[in-house]
Structure 1
């Protein structure tokens, strides 16, 4: 067996284990929390009084305008200087959540704004409250439009979790770095890590296509009934 193949096979288990223990949970948790944060931020920007909207606009401006790696360093290495010490995984989770929240808020805000005003008027005309209109009429329509960009954000997040290695989170990429430190074979190990990320992204892309097709058929059915 060639040396490179033997090395890749022997390191595949540790890399996959690191992915299952840290990369996947970090991705799922930060995206879920970031999506909820993004929804709150979008609603505040659209409907809250000006002072509150200004605060969340500032938050979005900061986190969309600075590199994610810098944000992670500020949280993990910077906050201890003011007495706030976080472990690596919680620091990464906070950093990714705040970053994803800023980006998804813009997507959600745009999709909510894209819903025709007639939908609001029709819902109000049958006696719905604002919260009922949002929950039953506006958000379901906005969600269908938001799926493609939000799916792209999720796929990008899977790859961006490799940045957590810079703050010592033992996820997939740092597992590769640790093996490189003992084998001195960076090219083989980094190619293997890249292939695993590529596989995950490809699977998620296919799931995204199927979801979009299903939502497209559902949307067509609703339009036909309308």
Structure 2
């Protein structure tokens, strides 16, 4: 067999195409759920980290440090295989969403903390002088500016976590990589893995370019 028959076997790719389509759909659902849950949780943890009572701040700091340090693969195994021993059983999709969201929320909290701390203190003091309630100050003054600062690094983290959804295959989540691996075993040919890699590139390359565009756009607005 030559290179094309081994790695770019078109009949094999066509044969396993339905499996890969199901896999990319599951990957998209997993990434979407993770980005929504992880982003919202990260912003809330960031606010607790900066403005909560001291005990809650310490807990938020510990949470951020632990889940930024833990490898996602280790966390996936712990959530899926260890939690049943304490009576918590999650299916593969829920375990993957929980694990990835925990990690993304920790990184999101740090990104938004940097964004909030970059806001001139005078603006917050002015809001307090006007008698604005704290929740209004957060919603109307702090978060809009912090989001603008945090969007480029948060987008970069989101792309990274979307790529890491491939790790969900270790808990039998039928994502794109798991379906491609099964297809490879079924056909005794690595072409499905190459097809999966191409599908990842098609989805993630535009997101990578989006990060660069956002960085340039916000850098220009800062100069102005």
Partner of 2:21: 16
Alignment equivalent of 1:75, drawn from 67, 73, 79: 79
Aligned residues, how many? 218
CA distance in 2, matches of 1:211, 1:110: 17
Partner of 2:199: 196
- After TM superposition, the structure 1 = structure 2 runs for residues 125-144 of structure 1, keeping only pairs within 5 Å, are 125-144=129-148
Q: Does 1:65 align with 2:74?
A: no
CA distance in 1, matches of 2:215, 2:22: 31
Partner of 2:180: 176
Partner of 1:166: 170
CA distance in 2, matches of 1:157, 1:191: 21
Q: Does 1:154 align with 2:154?
A: no
Partner of 1:38: 42
Partner of 1:114: 118
SS of corresponding position for 2:96: helix
Q: CA RMSD in A?
A: 1.9
> Which structure has the higher relative contact order (CA within 8 Å, separation 6+)?
2
CA distance in 2, matches of 1:68, 1:162: 11
Alignment equivalent of 1:92, drawn from 91, 96, 107: 96
Off by >6 Å, runs of 4+ in structure 1: none
CA distance in 1, matches of 2:215, 2:49: 27
- Structure 1 unaligned residues grouped into runs of 5+: none
- Structure 2 unaligned residues grouped into runs of 5+: none
CA distance in 1, matches of 2:158, 2:100: 11
Give the TM-score normalised by the residue count of structure 2: 0.90
Give the TM-score normalised by the residue count of structure 1: 0.89
CA distance in 2, matches of 1:100, 1:42: 12
SS of corresponding position for 1:201: helix
CA distance in 1, matches of 2:96, 2:50: 29
Partner of 1:28: 32
> Which whole-Å deviations, capped at 9, do the CAs of 1:109-163 have from their partners, x for residues lacking one?
1111110101112222323121111111111111111011111111111210000
